[in-house]
């Protein structure tokens, strides 16, 4: 644990894997020394491109960029203490009851439903009042937080973002936000239990009958993760427990699956 400071350099050049990155960002939230160091190392890293032979951007890029930015309003600045809690919008900016009561938890690929999935089937639908997802913005680095959360933010603020909340046995919850347009999904897991050493929660996107690995959740803590891979046509998101490093195929007996609403 004391060694975690040593990750500052690797973090500054994005050389951490997803699990390490999430862990280090939690550390950053509480360690001003590391935040300062990361900031200074990012300054250093930003000089590296100067050492490369320069390329000019293709002409088409400028047009595309300028056309695209015209479609988006810049986000408001963060205003410190009373910053409005970022509300994950459901359909049209309502903070409210996207809270999808419970989605059926079904085993992947219609297999038998053993242990965890069976347990998950017991899931009670909590009447979740509102899907206000907490401080997604400010995690990690105070001052300039959004860099680290940017992919997440972009999904959460996408005009077509849809948020669904699923309750999992034992009080755990998963809040899934999908932007079909961006083709990306964000999962916020709350209260998933600790795993034995050497095991990780792996995420999956289901496309038809195929499960595609989509990253990992840091174990044991609440976490917000941008799934890797294309979510534009995914039909479900799955969470399984796998040996560290992940598995090529999901271990079905640990699967929890969250069906996504159609586009």
Partner 1 sequence: MTEPRQSVAGVSPETPATAPADSHAELAEHLQRSARGDQQAFGRLYEAMSARVYGLAVRVVRDPAQAEEVAQEAFLEIWRMAGRFDPERGSPLAWMLTIVHRKAVDRVRSAEAATRRDTSYHQHNQPVAHDATAEAAHAGLEARRVRAALNTLTPVQREALELAYFGGYTHTEVASLLGLPVGTAKTRIRDGLIRLRDTMGVGG
Chain residues that interact with partner 1, rule: CB under 8 A: 6-10, 12-17, 20, 33, 36-37, 39-58, 60-62, 64-66, 68-70, 72-78, 141, 143-148, 150-151, 154, 212-213, 228-229
Query: How many other C-beta atoms can be found within 10 angstroms of the C-beta atom of residue 165?
Result: 27
Asked if residues 8 and 34 have their Cβ atoms less than 8 Å apart, the reply is yes
Nearer to partner 1, 46 or 261 (CB): 46
The enclosing H or E element of 201 equals strand 199-207
Identify the DSSP state of 255: -
Asked if residues 178 and 206 have their Cβ atoms less than 8 Å apart, the reply is no
How many angstroms separate the CA atoms of 139 and 27, rounded? 10
How many angstroms separate the CA atoms of 101 and 44, rounded? 48
The structure tokens listed for 207 are 């496309």
Nearer to partner 1, 107 or 250 (CB): 250
Nearer to partner 1, 70 or 115 (CB): 70
Nearer to partner 1, 45 or 118 (CB): 45
The enclosing H or E element of 167 equals strand 162-168
Min CB(49)–partner 1 separation in Å = 5
Q: Which residues pair with 167 in a beta bridge?
A: 173
Nearer to partner 1, 81 or 112 (CB): 81
* CA angle, 63 then 151 then 207, to 5°: 100
Longest dimension (CA), the chain: 59
Nearer to partner 1, 127 or 143 (CB): 143
Min CB(21)–partner 1 separation in Å = 9
How many angstroms separate the CA atoms of 5 and 7, rounded? 5
């Amino acid at each position: 644990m004391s060694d975690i400071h040593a990750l500052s350099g690797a973090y500054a050049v994005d050389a951490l894997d997803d699990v390490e990155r999430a862990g280090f960002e939690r550390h950053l939230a509480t360690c001003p020394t590391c935040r300062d160091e990361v900031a200074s190392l990012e300054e250093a890293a930003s000089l590296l491109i100067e050492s490369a032979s320069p390329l000019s951007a293709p002409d088409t890029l400028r047009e595309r960029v300028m056309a695209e930015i015209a479609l988006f309003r810049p986000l408001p600045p963060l205003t410190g203490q009373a910053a409005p809690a970022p509300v994950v919008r459901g359909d049209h900016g309502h903070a409210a009851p996207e809270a999808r009561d419970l989605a059926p938890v079904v085993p992947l690929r219609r297999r038998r439903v053993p242990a965890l999935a069976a347990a998950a089937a017991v899931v009670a639908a909590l009447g979740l009042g509102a899907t206000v997802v907490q401080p997604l913005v400010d995690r990690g680095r105070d001052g300039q937080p959004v860099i680290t959360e940017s992919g997440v933010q972009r999904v959460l603020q996408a005009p077509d973002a849809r948020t669904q909340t699923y309750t999992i046995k034992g009080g755990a919850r998963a809040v899934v936000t999908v932007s079909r347009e961006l083709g990306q999904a964000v999962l916020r897991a709350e209260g998933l239990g600790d795993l034995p050493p050497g095991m990780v929660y792996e995420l999956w996107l289901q496309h038809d009958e195929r499960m595609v690995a989509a990253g990992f959740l840091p174990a044991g803590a609440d976490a917000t993760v941008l799934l890797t891979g294309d979510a534009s046509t995914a039909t479900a998101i799955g969470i399984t427990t796998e040996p560290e490093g992940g598995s090529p195929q999901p271990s079905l007996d640990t699967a929890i699956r969250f069906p996504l609403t159609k586009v």
